[in-house]
Structure 1
Amino acid sequence: DPVFFYYLLRYLKPNFVGIARNKQTTGLGHITKRDLENLEAAYPRLPEQRAIAHILGSLDDKIELNRQMAQTLESIARAIFKSWFVDFDPVVVNALRAGNSIPDKFTKRAARYRDNPDELSLSEEIQCQFPDRFQDSELGPIPERWEIGPLKQIASLSTKTIQPKNDPLKLWVHYSIPAYDDGKMPKTEQGQTIMSGKYLVPKHAVLASKLNPQFPRVWLPMQDGIEDSICSTEFMPFIPRDSDERNLLYMFFLSDVAQREITNRVTGSTGSRQRVRPKDIEQMNILIPEKRLRIIYSDLTNGLIGLSLEKQDESATLANIRDTLLPKLISGELRIKDFERFLGKVA
């Protein structure tokens, strides 16, 4: 069964790694077609293969569905952030209503809303919180009464280091770069398996990678079990000075504006090991909207971000179940009783 074969290859991955290491002389080790052909593996008859493939595949299907849902919810929150705090759509609309001048940078958006005045679809209660004029700044035209200031004005950097190996049997929720790249699912690991120092993940933190910022990695950790949460020192844990503004801080780091500014501060000459200095990011000048608008944004997006986090957390649980079942089912340690009947029920 092709799906079973996929999980069999995942089960055999340690063998591939071992072969590659044994053959390694310089650079990266590798395996050949002959290495694969010479591997031996036991496997059950086809009906049981299909039953195993169905169980593991159903878990992966649900993980993927959750990923898509979380991504959609987050995309909505990002679109609102861009509209309010990058394109300044509500300010453009208010300026049009008041007959005030609009900077050349926003003339296309002004034409769009002049022709479709109700397109923005904001409630009047929120719309009236935005200014109706622009002012000049070092970052170009910005809404009136908004400020330019360092990131540290709204968020602080937290780099409290811990050695998980000093508590070898404790289970840690580990936010690592590989875990981010593998679907943004933190791994639960014993302290004895974590050899290097890590940062504690404080409550309300937003994690932004300082490694190779041309490939943005921004992570919003779950808040449960925070005393057991750690992250790679390749992440920069930032805490909003007002916990209600966590969503805004998260979306700021995800924005193209922030990522462009972060990339401009890169040090290091090689593409694979470029970094930014966290203190440089903390001092980075950013646009700071009025306090009430920052709170309104976070309140408005709490449901979206909260549900997105729930989906990610559920996926992490399902992935742990899958990773526990996979070696037991593939090796035959755990067998499916009456798998023909099982397959009949799920057909």
Structure 2
Amino acid sequence: MNWSQVSLASVCDKPQYGAIAKGSHQQIGPRFVRQTDIVLGRIDWSTVPYCDLSPSDFNKYSLRRGDLLISRLGNGVGNAAIVQNANDAVFAGYLVRFRTLASKADPDFVGYQLQSDAWRQHVVGFRSGAAQPTLNAQQMGEFKFLLPPLHEQAAIAATLGALDDKIESNRRVISIASDLLDAIADRSSQDLEGAPLSELTYNSRSVVDPSRIGDELVDHFSLPAFDSAVWPERTPASAIMSNKLVVDRPSILISRLNPRFNRTWWVVPEGSVIALASTEFSCLSAETRPELAALWLAVRDRYFRGELTHRVTGTSGSHQRIRPDDLLSIEVPNTRQLSDAVKQRVLDLLDLIHIRRREIVRLTALRDGLLPELLSGRVRVLETPRAVRGVVT
């Protein structure tokens, strides 16, 4: 295997720190990529603000396709992204830019190296014990990895990229469907009479002690699982602490903890394993799936979401909760009055979102499993295309 070990610095131009500027939501200049805009190895352009920069600074800090951005400070230190679309943008001061030398390295291949366990271990080696974790450009550049010939780098990147493109496509479908659902909810709120939420649903309060289930695998619907992927974690029941809600039918979970972070979860238990949910959720059910879909519109109503935050108890900003009975007393549009056709349309959109999230989980697991094998050379790229084609088509 004609692969050589190299350092990040040896295959890149001199690294560069980003611009010092203030972000703004007003379109006053170029887009301004910050470390918080880096999500799962890519830039989340939906959160990127603008900034006011002089022409000379824009030229100095402007991004182009293939740039590698690495966060150098804070809890996200070491998070990295490859720029796929420059979008007339510059990068912020808490980021460091590396540009690969075209004669030595494929930027996408190096970008995947910065998503590897080896990179995370490299970062941890410098941040240990620091009150405010930091990583400077020199330390980043010392990262070592195996580098195959250019043609094989490109093939590896293309294989992993096909999976990432499909994952991103699914995310776009979810975003569009979610926006459509909220638009339907807004329209419904104008046309329907109001009613207490308790008249549209019942709150499932059946709980179980996971330790009694033993080592059997369960789907755990927790707040961290929602924040990570809006998908449950499959884990041994014995690893779960404290009593959990039993979710034995399609339901809607609404977080009662810190409801200013609106966590509304359309839940469809897989059936093959027990489904458990954190007691920080209220678990709402309905007689039929179309009625449950209509209920989704009610709990996405703007007034309802605002009232969740107004009715919390607790003085700590990080531990405010709304009581279950208070949640059920909030007035919502009486979505039971909607036509069967509208209910079915909403149900179809919710099922589409659920299917696409399941697909993201499957593709992500495949990508994460392939990544270390391909980057180490244990699996050569010519061995993978048939398997990859089977899941991305």
Shorter chain as normaliser: what TM range?
A: 0.5 to 0.7
Q: Which residue of 1 aligns with 2:135?
A: 32
Alpha-carbon distance in structure 2 between the residues aligned to 1:195 and 1:17: 31
Deviation at 1:59, TM superposition (A): 1.2
Deviation at 1:63, TM superposition (A): 1.3
For 2:116, the aligned partner's letter is: Y
Q: Which residue of 2 aligns with 1:320?
A: 365
Indicate yes or no: 2:54 matched with 1:7: no
| Greater strand fraction, Structure 1 or Structure 2 | 2
Indicate yes or no: 2:195 matched with 1:148: yes
Deviation at 1:205, TM superposition (A): 0.6
Q: Which residue of 1 aligns with 2:388?
A: none
Aligned residue for 1:79, secondary structure, equals helix
Query: Does the 8 Å contact 2:298/2:332 carry over to 1?
Result: no
For 2:295, the aligned partner's letter is: L
Alpha-carbon distance in structure 1 between the residues aligned to 2:122 and 2:368: 18
Query: Does the 8 Å contact 1:185/1:315 carry over to 2?
Result: no
Q: Which residue of 2 aligns with 1:80?
A: 184
Q: Which residue of 2 aligns with 1:125?
A: none
Q: Deviations over 1:88-140 (max 9, x none)?
A: 2xxxxxxxxxxxxxxxxxxxxxxxxxxxxxxxxxxxxxxxxxxxxxxxxxxxx
Alpha-carbon distance in structure 1 between the residues aligned to 2:242 and 2:378: 33
1:48 to 152, 161, 177: 152
Please report the RMSD computed on the Cα atoms of aligned residues, expressed in angstroms. Answer: 3.2
The normalised TM-score by structure 2 is: 0.60
Query: Does the 8 Å contact 2:299/2:332 carry over to 1?
Result: no
Q: Which residue of 2 aligns with 1:61?
A: 165
For 1:62, the aligned partner's letter is: K
Indicate yes or no: 2:328 matched with 1:282: yes
Q: After the TM superposition, which of the residue ranges 154-163 and 34-43 deviates more from structure 2?
A: 34-43
The normalised TM-score by structure 1 is: 0.67
For 1:325, the aligned partner's letter is: L
Query: Does the 8 Å contact 1:203/1:226 carry over to 2?
Result: no
Deviation at 1:250, TM superposition (A): 1.7
For 1:209, the aligned partner's letter is: S
The correspondence of residues 179-328 of structure 1 with structure 2, limited to 5 A, is 179-191=225-237, 194-195=240-241, 197-225=243-271, 227-289=273-335, 291-293=336-338, 295-328=340-373
Q: After the TM superposition, which of the residue ranges 58-67 and 301-310 deviates more from structure 2?
A: 301-310
Deviation at 1:224, TM superposition (A): 2.7
Query: Does the 8 Å contact 1:208/1:218 carry over to 2?
Result: yes
Alpha-carbon distance in structure 2 between the residues aligned to 1:55 and 1:168: 40
Q: Which residue of 2 aligns with 1:343?
A: none
Alpha-carbon distance in structure 1 between the residues aligned to 2:297 and 2:126: 41
Aligned residue for 2:282, secondary structure, equals strand
Unmatched segments (≥5 aa) in structure 1: 89-142, 341-347
Deviation at 1:218, TM superposition (A): 1.0
Alpha-carbon distance in structure 2 between the residues aligned to 1:338 and 1:199: 44
Count residues in correspondence: 278
For 1:81, the aligned partner's letter is: A
Alpha-carbon distance in structure 1 between the residues aligned to 2:320 and 2:371: 36
Q: After the TM superposition, which of the residue ranges 40-49 and 216-225 deviates more from structure 2?
A: 40-49
Q: For the structure 1 residues 328 and 188, does the alpha-carbon distance in structure 2 shift closer, same or farther, using more than 3 Å as the test?
A: farther
Q: Deviations over 1:41-78 (max 9, x none)?
A: 44444333322222222112111111211222232233
Aligned residue for 1:271, secondary structure, equals coil
Deviation at 1:23, TM superposition (A): 0.8
Relative contact order (C-alpha < 8 Å, sep 6+): which is higher? Answer: 1
For 2:366, the aligned partner's letter is: I
Aligned residue for 2:372, secondary structure, equals helix
Alpha-carbon distance in structure 2 between the residues aligned to 1:298 and 1:226: 27
Query: Does the 8 Å contact 2:253/2:264 carry over to 1?
Result: yes
Query: Does the 8 Å contact 2:304/2:331 carry over to 1?
Result: no
Query: Does the 8 Å contact 2:294/2:338 carry over to 1?
Result: no
Query: Does the 8 Å contact 2:218/2:235 carry over to 1?
Result: yes
Aligned residue for 1:188, secondary structure, equals strand
Q: For the structure 1 residues 30 and 195, does the alpha-carbon distance in structure 2 shift closer, same or farther, using more than 3 Å as the test?
A: farther
For 2:115, the aligned partner's letter is: R
Q: Which residue of 2 aligns with 1:175?
A: 221
Unmatched segments (≥5 aa) in structure 2: 1-105, 386-393
Q: For the structure 1 residues 196 and 7, does the alpha-carbon distance in structure 2 shift closer, same or farther, using more than 3 Å as the test?
A: farther
Alpha-carbon distance in structure 1 between the residues aligned to 2:209 and 2:159: 37
Deviation at 1:37, TM superposition (A): 4.3
